[in-house]
Amino acid sequence: MIEGQPFFQLDWVLDHLDTLAQRIGEHLLVTVIAVVVGFVISFALALLVRRYPRLYPPILAVSGVLYAIPSIALFVLFIPITGLSLLTAEIALVSYTLVILVRNIVTGLRGVPAEVIEAARGMGYTDGQRLWRIELPIALPIIVAGVRIATVTTIGLVTIATLIGMGGLGYLVVNIGVRQRFPTATITGVVIVVLLSTIVDVGLQAFQRRLTPWAKAREA
Amino acid sequence: MTSSAAVVRLEHVSKRYGPEGGPEAVSDLSLEIPAGEICVLVGPSGCGKTTTMKMINRLIEPTSGRITIDGEDVMALPAVELRRRIGYVIQQVGLFPHLTVAENVAVVPRLLRWPESRVHERTNELLDLVRLQPSTYADRYPAALSGGERQRVGVARALAADPPLMLMDEPFGAVDPILRDRLQNEFLRLQAQVRKTIVFVTHDVDEAIKMADRIAILQRGGILAQYDTPDSILKAPASEFVAHFVGADRGLKRLSLGRVRDLELGKPITARVGEPRGDLRRRLEEAAADFILLLDEKDRPLGWIDRGDLGGDDAVTVDDATPGSPTLEPESTLRDALSVMLGSSVQLGVVVDSDERVLGVISVDAISEVLRTPTSRPA
């Protein structure tokens, strides 16, 4: 912090609204790509596990190991191969979503009561119809719960992706705030990250409630 | 309601889960289930009754043998198509929690791509049939239903596409005894309307006797021990195993198959309030009877008067009669009738009509007569 400068300067924030908006946009884009790609991969893996349950332990083990690698290490690990690029950032971010998403999708599908599956088979659903019309809708609350955790985690991690030049809110926190000793930027960046996480989390929860009106009847 | 029923035939059906030469779950089973009848598969656990039932809609495929529905081999159709033609009800009901009651009932019609208007009409018709007001229940989710309501929706769902055959796997096994009795009665009433062929699995011999037109008793290893009407099985168990399985009280169980209306009613000696006691004494002497039944002005029974309590010659009053035991109706089972009579001082059961007017009396003797002479099962 530079001598004689107030800790937090609201003027700076108001003067840089357009920059902030741009950083939020970058941040969200990187997050959405990571969660969407992560979800597609996880969904495919979960369907594989549904068909071949024996694959579940190895899949969990691999995604668990990926999750355990510190994020900075993972970024650095890929730089020689993919450079300081969006791809490098996304490979790391997607890796982190897998363990959460696979686990939640599989748990959701396995949570469908056995009698519901038996009734569906007995009434003449094909395997595909049963998956899409019965099992996935019933698993939805748990799947969305996984997406919420994965998204919030990713929003946090994207901040670190700044280190490999990905912009986003991490740019405010680290490049302006820390490197230039300007705490206002750090505080603003952190507050926005927290707000974004909260808004996205609450938004996804509301989305899930809308899609599963029947789950409320159960609580009542 | 339009309705059809199918003949189901099992020909030398076997099912083995293990390798060849291993034990069989069902062993060379042959059965013919006539159209429109309830066939109950009953037996101890491990007797293969559920396996047998699931082979009919191919949830389990037989190792050998042939199963036909109306002459058509079940293996001739894709399993999915076969199942859409067969109603299926299971113990845990298995309603789809994310679908409303109406959507649950509409499942098979929609799989069969019925036009929406017909689906809607059929759904309402079925909810009415199982006595769930469509306006109240159609849009509810299963979580908001009681156990009995869920079971009714399960039955409606199985009937939705008007299948000629229904498979029911311990459908009333998960509810309390009082509710079970009510659901059984409701189902029998429903069946009298729809007349489906029904294959019903239970481990409860009393339920089998109550529900069945025909009972197939299976023993361990899926061997058919006896296949006959409930009455014949109770009257003449084919083996030690069957006799033991239906229980030592099978004589009493037979009584629950008979109804009071099947018996010829006796005429009781009756009297009315206000008649002189002397007249009553004379009437009892002529009939060589010990008790006289006091009636009110609308022929409703007030109670019995013992001959010994008829001294003097003043008019009889209501107070002279010992308030009677519960009255019987023509629909009462003989088992209930016997129970009532054993609790009554005169050992006679008073049978009344729906206006409580006396129709006649039955005696313990008449009931034990039933046990001696075989009766066919009342329709």
Please list every residue in chain A whose beta carbon sits closer than 8 Å to the beta carbon of residue B142.
214, 217
Closest residue to B141, CB basis, from A115, A137, A214: A214
Q: Which residues of B touch A134 (CB under 8 A)?
A: 96, 98
Chain A: residue whose CA lies nearest to B101: A214
Are A26 and A159 spatial neighbours (Cβ–Cβ below 8 Å)? no
3-state secondary structure of B169: strand
B379/chain A closest Cα distance in angstroms: 31
Which residue ranges of chain B lie beneath pLDDT 50? Answer: 1-2, 375-379
ipTM: 0.83
Residue among B80, B82, B98 with most chain A CBs within 10 A, to mutate = B98
What pLDDT, in 10s, does the model give residues A81-101?
A: 887 788 888 888 999 999 999
> CA B379 to CA B369: how far, in whole Å?
20
For residue B83, the distance in angstroms to the closest alpha carbon of chain A comes to 5
**Given B59, B93, B143, which is nearest A121 (Cβ)?**
B59
CA distance linking residue B49 with residue B200, whole number of Å:
9
CA distances from B52 to B46, B183, B198, B218 (A): 11, 24, 13, 10
Give residues 110 to 149 of A whose Cβ lies within 8 Å of B.
113-126, 129, 134, 137-138, 140
Size of interface A-B (CB pairs under 8 A): 77
Beta carbons within 8 Å of A106's beta carbon, 6+ residues apart: A46, A49, A50, A56
Interface test with B, best of A109, A112, A123, A218 (most B CBs within 10 A): A123
pLDDT tens-digit readout, A156-190: 888 887 777 777 888 778 777 777 777 888 888 88
Q: What 3 state SS string does B245-263 have?
A: HHCCCHHHHHHCCCEHHHC
CB contact under 8 A, B96 and A134: yes
Per the CB < 8 A criterion, the answer to whether B40 and B218 are in contact is no
Render pLDDT for B80-133 as a digit per residue (tens, 0 to 9).
999 999 999 998 899 999 999 999 999 999 999 999 999 999 999 999 999 899
3-state secondary structure of B351: strand
**Confidence (pLDDT) at B102:** 96
Q: What residues are paired with B214 via a beta bridge?
A: B39
Q: Is A213 on the interface with B (CB under 8 A)?
A: yes
Q: Where are the domains of chain A?
A: 10-219
- Asked whether B191 and B130 are in contact (CB, 8 A), the reply is no
Give kind and range of the element (H or E) at residue B362.
Answer: strand B358-363
Separation of alpha carbons B140 and B103, rounded Å = 10
* C-alpha span between A96 and A108 (Å, rounded): 19
**C-alpha B97, offset from chain centre:** 30
Q: Which helix (H) or strand (E) holds B214?
A: strand B214-219
What is the pLDDT, as a whole number, of residue B178?
84
Q: Helical H runs in A52-85?
A: 56-68, 71-82
Nearest CB to A217 within list B80, B108, B144? B144
Any bridge partners for residue B303, and if so which? B294, B323
Question: What's the confidence (pLDDT) of residue B179?
Answer: 85
Q: Compute the distance between CA of residue A5 and CA of residue B45 in angstroms, rounded to an integer.
A: 83
**Residue A119 to residue B88, Cβ atoms within 8 A:** yes
Q: Are B241 and B225 in contact (CB under 8 A)?
A: yes
Selected residues 169-198 of chain B with any CB under 8 Å from a CB in chain A: none
Of B81, B90, B91, the CB nearest to A124: B81
d(Cα B191, Cα B278) in Å, to the nearest integer? Answer: 54
Is any Cβ of chain A less than 8 angstroms from the Cβ of B156? Answer: no
Q: How many helices (H) and strands (E) does chain B have?
A: 15, 16
Nearest CA in chain A to B107: A123
Cβ-nearest to A122 among B57, B142, B144: B57
CB-based contact, B95 to chain A, within 8 Å: yes
- For B49, the 3-state DSSP assignment is helix
Amino acid residing at A99: V
Contact A71, A114 (CB under 8 A): no
Phi–psi pair at B33, nearest 5 degrees? -105, 115
Query: Is A70's Cβ below 8 Å from some Cβ in B?
Result: no
Cα B9 → chain centroid: 23
What is the pLDDT, as a whole number, of residue A105?
97
Taking the C-alpha atoms of residue A22 and residue B135, their distance in angstroms, rounded to an integer, is 53
Pairing mode, if any, of strands B165-169 and B197-202? Answer: parallel
pLDDT score for B376 = 41
A11-20, A125-134, B333-342, B366-375: the lowest-pLDDT one:
B366-375
Q: Give me the sign of the Cα torsion angle A164, A169, A171, A177.
A: negative
A4 pLDDT higher than 80? no
State the residue for tokens 């596990």. Answer: A49
- Any CB–CB contact under 8 A between B17 and chain A? no
Q: How far apart are CA A154 and CA A31, in angstroms?
A: 6
Task: Provide the 10 A C-beta neighbour count for residue B35.
Answer: 15
A201: nearest Cα among A150, A157, A165:
A150
CB contact at 8 A, B130 and B81: no
Q: What is the distance between the alpha carbons of residues B289 and B281, in angstroms, rounded to a whole number?
A: 10
Q: Would you call B93 and A119 a contact, using CB atoms and an 8 Å cutoff?
A: yes
Is the Cβ of B21 closer than 8 Å to some Cβ of chain A?
no
What CATH homologous superfamily does A10-219 map to?
MetI-like (1.10.3720.10)
Q: In this predicted structure, what is the pLDDT of residue B20? A: 81
User: Cβ–Cβ of A214/B97 closer than 8 Å?
Assistant: yes
Q: What angle do CA B272, B278, B280 make, to 5 degrees?
A: 40
Q: Give yes or no for a contact between B326 and B337, defined as CB atoms under 8 angstroms apart.
A: no
Distance from the Cα of A120 to chain B's closest Cα (Å) equals 8
What would the pLDDT profile of A31-85 be if each residue is shown by its tens digit?
Answer: 999 999 999 999 999 999 999 999 999 999 999 988 888 877 877 888 888 877 8
For β-strands B291-295 and B270-272, DSSP reports them as parallel
- Give the residues across from B164 on adjacent strands: none
Amino acid at B162: D
Whether B96 and A119 lie within 8 Å, measured CB to CB: yes
Chain A closest CA to B195's CA: distance in Å? Answer: 20
- Report the alpha-carbon angle B212-B216-B218, nearest 5: 140
For residue A217, pLDDT beyond 70: no
Does B96 contact A116 at a Cβ distance shorter than 8 Å? yes
The token pair at A31 is 């997050």
